[in-house]
Structures are given as C-alpha cells and as structure tokens.
C-alpha cells in the first residue's frame, strides 16, 4: 500500500468496467492509485494491499463469491450490480451495493468512493492520534513515578555509596573484596549522576511550563 496515496482495487474481468471507474473518478490531489484484479482471483487478494475495493457483480454467478471474499477482507467495498440481477442497493457490512444505472453509476461510484476514502483517512488519523496520546500518557505516568521515587532512590544510593567507601577504608581486606567495593562505589556514583540529571531536567521543564503560562493567558488559566 502506498503510504501517501490510497489504493483502489478494481475486481472485474471486463476492461470497460475498470476504464469507466478510472475515467469517472474525480481528479484532484486525493486521486488514488488503481489496481486491477481479475474477478476469478478475488479470493486471493489481501486486505493490506488496498484501501477500497470496487467490484463488478453484473452476473449472479460471481455475487456470492465476491460478497464472501470482500466481507472476509473487512475493508470498505463498492459492488456494482445490474438492475436485472436483483433489487440490491443497500449495505452489507463494509460493502455498499450500487445499482448499475446506465450512464450514471461511474460518476456516482467515483463521488461515493472518494468520500469513503476520506473517511478512512480521517479514522486512520484518529487512531494514530489515540495511539500517540496513549503512549504519551504512559510515558508521563512513568515520569511522575520516577519523580516521586527520586528522593527514596537517592537516599538508597547515598547509603550504598557510604558503605562502599567504608569498605575501601577498612584495613586488611582481600584485594578481591576491595575491587568489588570499588565497583559498587563507581556504579552508585554513576546512578547518582543519572538521577541528578533527571532532577535537573524536571526543574527545566517546570521553568519552561511557568514561562509558557505567563506568555499564554489561556494556558495560565488552565494551569490555575
């Protein structure tokens, strides 16, 4: 699937059908890419390869197989059927059935298809925004927890560092013990530096938030 343009999958064995669809589709910045697939292969397409399917169901023989394949894919679809093949002009799950009125159906299909793709893009942007918001909330929760635990962790590190220093001053200890105590001290110092940096970042963010609230009255009111 093209990341910038939508893809419309045309399912038909009739070249005139696919030509009518592509020629009648509104031409603008949102014009999709078109991919043609023979209707005999309709059971083999994958939902991740298109955004909207347009199928030709002019015969009764292929209607059931098309409906089954499109419903299983779960993507939006427009199925064009002839007036003589039944009175079907409603929706079936993600499928819209469009009557093949002479001279009218291509332009109707193009307009309806464009609106379906617009809605799909809007829903996709909404889902992405929700995902980003959920990830931001999770990170904010983790940040608040780290801020709350900073003092307790710093106290524990100070205790570890102090005991390591005492061990290093203890006379007569084996070289292996002294080496281990030195490692403990160095790691405690490194962790202490990390938490000091975290504290500095927290202060910087607090100052930036206060400055932003001063510059923006609405933000100040929201903070209050």
Q: pLDDT (tens digit, 9 = 90+) per residue, 61-93?
A: 667 777 788 888 888 999 998 855 444 444 556
* Helix axes 105-169 and 175-215, enclosed angle (nearest 10): 130
- Residue 20: the pLDDT is 93
Q: What is the mean pLDDT of the chain?
A: 80
Q: What is the CA radius of gyration of the chain?
A: 32
Is the pLDDT assigned to residue 19 strictly greater than 50?
yes
Q: pLDDT (tens digit, 9 = 90+) per residue, 20-45?
A: 999 999 888 888 999 888 755 555 56
Q: Cβ(14)–Cβ(56) under 8 Å?
A: yes
Is the pLDDT assigned to residue 115 strictly greater than 70?
yes
Q: Cβ(106)–Cβ(56) under 8 Å?
A: no
Q: Cβ(49)–Cβ(5) under 8 Å?
A: no
Q: pLDDT (tens digit, 9 = 90+) per residue, 199-223?
A: 777 777 777 777 777 776 554 555 4
Q: Cβ(13)–Cβ(66) under 8 Å?
A: no
Looking up tokens 């910045």 gives 29
Report how far residue 14's alpha carbon sits from residue 125's, in angstroms, rounded to the nearest whole number.
35
Please state the rounded mean pLDDT for residues 91-115.
Answer: 85
DSSP symbols for 174-210: -HHHHHHHHHHHHHHHHHHHHHHHHHHHHHHHHHHHH
- Residue 143: the pLDDT is 74
Q: Residue 213 has which token pair?
A: 């609230």
Backbone angles phi and psi of 101, in degrees to 5:
-75, 130
* Helix axes 15-24 and 105-169, enclosed angle (nearest 10): 70
- Residue 150: the pLDDT is 75
Q: Cβ(76)–Cβ(99) under 8 Å?
A: no
């Amino acid at each position: 699937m093209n990341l910038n343009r939508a893809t419309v999958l045309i399912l038909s064995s009739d070249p005139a059908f696919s030509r009518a669809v592509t020629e009648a589709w509104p031409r603008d910045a949102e014009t999709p890419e078109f991919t043609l697939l023979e209707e005999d292969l309709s059971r083999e397409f994958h939902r991740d390869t298109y955004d909207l399917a347009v199928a030709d169901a002019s015969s009764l023989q292929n209607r059931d197989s098309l409906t089954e394949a499109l419903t299983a894919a779960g993507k939006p679809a427009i199925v064009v059927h002839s007036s003589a093949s039944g009175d079907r002009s409603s929706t079936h799950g993600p499928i819209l059935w469009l009557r093949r009125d002479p001279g009218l159906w291509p332009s109707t299909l193009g307009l309806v298809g464009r609106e379906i793709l617009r809605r799909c893009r809007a829903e996709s942007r909404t889902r992405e925004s929700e995902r980003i918001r959920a990830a931001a909330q999770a990170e904010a929760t983790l940040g608040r927890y780290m801020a709350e635990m900073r003092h307790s962790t710093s106290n524990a590190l100070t205790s570890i560092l102090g005991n390591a220093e005492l061990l290093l001053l203890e006379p007569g200890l084996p070289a292996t013990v002294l080496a281990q105590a030195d490692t403990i001290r160095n790691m405690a110092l490194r962790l202490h530096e990390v938490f000091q940096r975290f504290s500095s970042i927290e202060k910087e963010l607090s100052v930036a938030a206060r400055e932003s609230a001063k510059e923006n009255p609405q933000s100040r009111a929201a903070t209050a």
